[in-house]
Amino acid sequence: MLRAKHKTGLVFFPAFDWAISPTHPEREERLLYTQDQVMEEGLLDIENIIEFKPDLVTLDDIQRVHFCVPDVWSVTTESHFISAGGAKKIGMAVLDGRVDNGFALVRPPGHHAMRIVHGARGFCNINIEAVMIEFLREAYDINRVAIIDTDCHHGDGTQDIYWHDKDTLFVSIHQDGRTLYPGSGFPDEQGGPNAIGTTVNIPLPPNTSEQGFLYTMKHVVMPILDDFKPDLVINSAGQDNHFSDPITNMNFSAQGYADLTKMLKADIAVLEGGYAIEGALPYVNLGIILAMAGIDYGQVREPDYDPDKIRQTTQVTRAIEKIGELVLSYWRQRKPARERILNQNEFFERKRNVFYDTDGITESQYEKIRVCPDCSGALKIDSSSDRGNRVLAVHIPRKACQTCMDLGHRWYESADGNTFDLVLLQDRPGNKYLKSDSKQRKE
Amino acid sequence: MIIGLDVGGTHTDVVLLGEEGLIREIKIPTDHSDLFSTVLESLNQITSGLGSKRIRRIVLSTTLTTNSIAQKKIPKVGMIVSAGPGIDPFLFQTNEYYVPVSGSIDHRGREVEPVRPEEIKKAARNFLDNDISHVGVVSKFSIRNPAHELKISEVLKNSFEKVFLGHRISGNLNFPRRIATTFLNASVYPIHKKFFNAVKRSLKKKGLEVPIHILKADGGTMSIESSIDSPGQTILSGPAASVMGSIAFAPDNQDALVMDIGGTTTDMAALINQIPVLEPVGINIGGYRTLIRALEVHSIALGGDSAITITNGILTIGPERKGPAMAYGGPVPTPTDALVVLGKIENSDREKAVSGIKALAESMGNSLEDTAQLIFDSVCKKILAEANAMIDRINSKPVYTIHELQEGYKLNPKDLLIIGGPAPYFADQLEKMSDYNVHVVPRWGVANAIGAALARTTSEVTLFADTEQGIATAHEENFSKKVDHDYSGRMAVENAYKLLRKKALRMGANSGDLELEVLENQQFNMVRGFLTTGKNIRVKVQVKPGLIHEYDSVVNKLTR
Ligand SMILES: [Zn+2]
Ligand SMILES: [Zn+2]
């Protein structure tokens, strides 16, 4: 009987009865052919590949990460509780030592969901990786986490959630934002004042193929990971870099994805996008699972694979090398950059608009963070959407210093009930998620 | 009158049932070196003095195929395997003459790469040079499109006695299991055929020209004639016989557990409203994972004859059996000896049982009674713990829809039915130590043979439709038809039911016993470029495992 070298956990939850809308790319059929391939290859019979049934995440699990407006129920469906629950189940299996690594093959995805949630962005409502990671941090002794996002779209939601967290390295490799949704993810987006450098963006030109992805992994991502020394490595394993994906312009392959997986050695992989549901997903998922399990994947090949047809031009190669150099130079300068910031103002502020393309909502945010030498800094966000909800969201980070804790509580308690419909507090050190709406406060 | 026969590891049980209930029951030792004599002798004994005209049906459950696989007493076969891209097919190698060849079909049944006849011819020559006359042919995704398997068999035609094709063996996905199952069918084919043809001839000579059925691992039967082409289905029918013998006594509209407490092992299974729970994919035997439909039976190496040892003051029961209990002349103390010491079993050599348990008691510094009680309690505790583990496992099976995850059926049995030699001695203690209502199945000593006698014919059909390609297929049944865009899930179920009825009758079912149900019914809109281009429909239907209705009244008489 075939035996895997690594004990690999799988949660397979294709949500065969859930879709954003009948003809939306994120629909019932999306993992149907992947299921066929997984079943026909007999993957679940391989000794040391273990399938788990997803649990549902709890309200606390979601509120630990997100400020949902007006509440969690309004911006999620049960499918989100299950897909995040699938990731959580795999995370627990890995940290309990039941498996060496694991892959949550679940939908819907999550990497475009930001800290504040007014609705769905890029098919995502809640950030399933972040919900998993913050649960794991609460339940197990882990601190430093690296997320390597290999989806074709910039993981702007994950970036937003970890923007100020110096203990989380977020690396996103994606198609250049000037040519693809969501239009962000440039190398100079490097994280907030307390976490400068721990956000790493590597935009690659359209038509990047195996050569370019593997070059970037080997020469940019792996050295950064080695420097960061994470306790846990997460792969946001989107599969829309595939040459046959209908909504992107890259030239990656099943073999390439398997090679990338083998090189990265992630503890946990979580499925993100990927919409070539027949020509790519069955083969890419097969390649990823085999690579994680340490089984030969040399014969995994999609039917219309022709390496000559998808080979990248020398121009693309040169552009990739240049981006890599720039990213590495930013990475090397992250400590002096942080020193410079600490000598400036006590507070950092930014204003921005967030567009929820899936739900057609526009949100404007005004954010204020305390620049702190000792922790990730107390954070407050004044957010209002064109649907009329205005909220004040206060976040006291994990391992906050006393000053930031006090400040966070002060912000929460002194919020003006006439200005905000809702005031929310994420008190991570106290493990409390508080909410007061204007009606309550007036009483 | 009907006859049920179950060949077991130690004994072969035979029963004769009639209008009046259980008429005769016989137990004879199984001679594994000559199963044919065992079967014939038991049939001779059970029918002695009866007019052959009065027998209407005979059902046999034997260990023939199971043992030949477990002991690897199987002839050489040739395997031709066409995998295409994916896991290296050599990783699923079943035997020496195993030849991967070109050819590739994708998940929707479209040809990606053709097979090459010259490769097949070469493999065939090699098989013939090695005196191989039975061949298995399997291609990946052949249940979606069997063209490659058919093409390969076309090339092999006339050179071999029998060629088994993967797509005819099961409608389920799983290429490695399809390979193993096809291999096992080809392997046991000659043994099975020879044996049952001989049984048929002998019975005919005796004037017994009645339908003979063979019990399958799924608790259903098939006619001896149809078993010749799917001998693999007879593998591991023994545990199914016991389960079928209990279901008449299980509560209606409730869950229950069945336990067969034997000498060496205890087998457990679950029933939902009198219908046994099936294994999700297929049985494992001799290191092979298969697509052979079976009842989900959990076996533990613990029974009345399990050897008891003490190492460093720790009592261990099983997993080995070194012979019968000391009370029956065996070499080492067993749980049965503990029962004898406790006065639960009489009519045996109590002195010998006491001497065995006493030795254990002394080395643990306990009294004789306490030690016997401890042994008995540990056996019951272990059995109950394993039962809970089985329930958990059944309940934690992955599901793929939100509906099933939220509303999925949770097994929650309140009743425990026990059968097997030591069953009555265990009943009180198991009830005391658990929340179950424990029942000893009537005629517990031969319930397995009764189960075989009364089991109905079962079968399963898988139908797949792809309206974008305009096809509905059940290749296992050699069925394929053109359909248009209006083809619906309801029509697919109708088609599948029709095929199922035909198949079940062909396999020997009574038309009155065709209780059909839908196991799976999924329908997906296929969307290409934001347009719905077709439907992908998957339907699986079965004849529920159960008992033949003709003998309902007989069952009622068994309780007396
Ligand atoms: Zn994407
Ligand atoms: Zn601080």
Q: Which of A140, A105, A104, A97 is nearest to A34 (CA)?
A: A105
Is B59 contained in some domain?
Answer: yes
Q: Which of A330, A365, A335 is nearest to A350 (CA)?
A: A365
Q: Which residues pair with A270 in a beta bridge?
A: A104, A236
Contacts for A356 with CB less than 8 Å, ≥ 6 apart = A118, A119, A120, A121, A362, A363
Is B28 contained in some domain?
Answer: yes
Same domain, B431 and B484: no
* CB contact B346 to A (< 8 Å): no
Q: Tell me which chain B residues have a C-beta less than 8 angstroms from the C-beta of A295.
A: 87, 91
How many Å lie between the centroid of ligand 2 and the Cα of residue A369?
10
Same domain, B31 and B161: no
* Domain end position, chosen among B390, B405, B440: B440
Q: What is the mean pLDDT of residues A405-421?
A: 94
Q: Which of B344, B279, B336 is nearest to B519 (CA)?
A: B279
Is B51 contained in some domain?
Answer: yes
**What CATH number should be reported for the domain holding residue B10?**
3.30.420.40
* Spatial distance between the Cα atoms of A119 and A117, rounded to a whole number of angstroms: 6
Query: Is the bond preceding residue A182 a cis peptide, omega within 30 degrees?
Result: yes
Same domain, B338 and B431: yes
Yes or no: say if B554 and B21 are a contact pair by the CB < 8 Å rule: yes
Q: How far is A58 from chain B (nearest CA, A)?
A: 15
Same domain, B259 and B407: yes
pLDDT of residue B72: 87
Work out whether the CA dihedral B417, B422, B426, B427 comes out positive or negative.
Answer: positive
Q: Tell me which chain B residues have a C-beta less than 8 angstroms from the C-beta of A53.
A: 396-399, 405
CA distances from residue B350 to B343, B344, B345 in whole angstroms, order as listed: 9, 11, 9
Q: What is the separation of C-alpha A190 from the centre of its chain, rounded to a whole number of angstroms? A: 16
Task: Supply B293's token pair.
Answer: 């439909």
Where residue A356 falls among pLDDT bands split at 50, 70, 90?
Answer: very high
* Domain end position, chosen among B440, B472, B493: B440
Q: Tell me which chain B residues have a C-beta less than 8 angstroms from the C-beta of A51.
A: 398
| Residue in A66, A80, A111, A112 annotated catalytic | A112
How would you label B281-297 residue by residue, b for 16+ Cβ within 10 Å and e otherwise?
bbbbbbebbbbbbbbbb
Is B550 contained in some domain?
Answer: no
- Out of A28, A40, A301, name the one closest to residue B140 (CB): A40
Same domain, B282 and B349: yes
Q: How far is A369 from chain B (nearest CA, A)?
A: 40
Residue A442, pLDDT above cutoff 50: no
For chain B, which residues score pLDDT lower than 70?
A: 560
pLDDT of residue B80: 98
Give the H or E element holding residue B42: helix B35-47
Where residue A439 falls among pLDDT bands split at 50, 70, 90?
Answer: low
DSSP A378: -
Same domain, B62 and B86: no
**What CATH number should be reported for the domain holding residue B173?**
3.40.50
Same domain, B153 and B258: no
Same domain, B299 and B161: no
Same domain, B262 and B344: yes
Are B398 and A23 in contact (CB < 8 Å)? no
Helix/strand/coil for B261: strand
Q: How far is A2 from chain B (nearest CA, A)?
A: 6
Chain A with chain B: Cβ pairs closer than 8 A: 116
How many Å lie between the centroid of ligand 2 and the Cα of residue A343?
15
pLDDT of residue B115: 97
B residues 53-92 near A, CB within 8 Å? Answer: 83, 85-88, 91-92
Same domain, B205 and B65: yes
Is B558 contained in some domain?
Answer: no
Q: How far is B295 from chain A (nearest CA, A)?
A: 18
CA distances from residue A364 to A163, A348, A352, A426, B455 in whole angstroms, order as listed: 17, 17, 6, 20, 70
Residue A351, pLDDT above cutoff 90: yes
Are A29 and B140 in contact (CB < 8 Å)? no
- Out of B91, B141, B281, name the one closest to residue A2 (CB): B91
DSSP A401: -
Is B554 contained in some domain?
Answer: no
pLDDT in tens, A75-118: 999 999 999 999 999 999 999 999 999 999 999 999 999 999 99
* CB contact B107 to A (< 8 Å): yes
Residue A196, pLDDT above cutoff 50: yes
Q: DSSP for B275-316?
A: EEPBPSS--EETTEE-----B--EEES--TTEEEEEETTEEE
* CB contact A82 to B (< 8 Å): yes
Q: Tell me which chain A residues have a C-beta less than 8 angstroms from the C-beta of B534.
A: none
* Spatial distance between the Cα atoms of B229 and B408, rounded to a whole number of angstroms: 37
Are B86 and A41 in contact (CB < 8 Å)? yes
Known catalytic membership, residue A112: yes
Is B452 contained in some domain?
Answer: no
Are A35 and B400 in contact (CB < 8 Å)? yes
pLDDT of residue B445: 87
DSSP B447: H
Q: What is the mean pLDDT of residues A210-228?
A: 98
Choose the mutation target among A10, A29, A40, A295 for the interface with B, i.e. most B CBs under 10 Å.
A40
Helices A128-139 and A78-95 cross at an angle (nearest 10°) of 40
pLDDT of residue A438: 63
**Domain span at B50:** 2-71+191-240
* CB contact B523 to A (< 8 Å): no
Where residue A436 falls among pLDDT bands split at 50, 70, 90?
Answer: confident
pLDDT of residue B551: 81
* Spatial distance between the Cα atoms of B86 and B92, rounded to a whole number of angstroms: 12
* Spatial distance between the Cα atoms of B290 and B285, rounded to a whole number of angstroms: 8
* CB contact A17 to B (< 8 Å): yes
* CB contact A14 to B (< 8 Å): yes
Is B557 contained in some domain?
Answer: no
Average pLDDT across chain A, whole number: 95
How would you label B44-71 residue by residue, b for 16+ Cβ within 10 Å and e otherwise?
eebbeebeeeebebbbbbbbbbbbbbee
* Spatial distance between the Cα atoms of B20 and A323, rounded to a whole number of angstroms: 89
Are A1 and B525 in contact (CB < 8 Å)? no
pLDDT in tens, A14-57: 999 999 888 888 999 999 999 999 999 999 999 999 999 999 99
* Spatial distance between the Cα atoms of A62 and A83, rounded to a whole number of angstroms: 12
* Spatial distance between the Cα atoms of B9 and B31, rounded to a whole number of angstroms: 9
Task: Supply A331's token pair.
Answer: 């990475």
Same domain, B375 and B272: yes
Are B176 and A2 in contact (CB < 8 Å)? yes
DSSP A218: I
User: Nearest-5° angle of CA A125, CA A126, CA A127?
Assistant: 130
- E strands within A58-182? 67-68, 101-106, 116-117, 145-149, 168-175
Q: Could you give the domains of chain A?
A: 3-334 (3.40.800.20), 346-442 (no CATH)
Cβ-in-10-Å burial (0-12, 13-18, 19+) of B374 comes to middle
pTM, entire model: 0.94
* CB contact A103 to B (< 8 Å): no
Where residue A443 falls among pLDDT bands split at 50, 70, 90?
Answer: very low
* CB contact A422 to B (< 8 Å): no
* CB contact B527 to A (< 8 Å): yes
Same domain, B326 and B345: yes
Strands B78-82 and B134-139 come out as: parallel
> What is the number of domains present in chain B?
4
B residues 263-302 near A, CB within 8 Å? Answer: 281, 287, 289
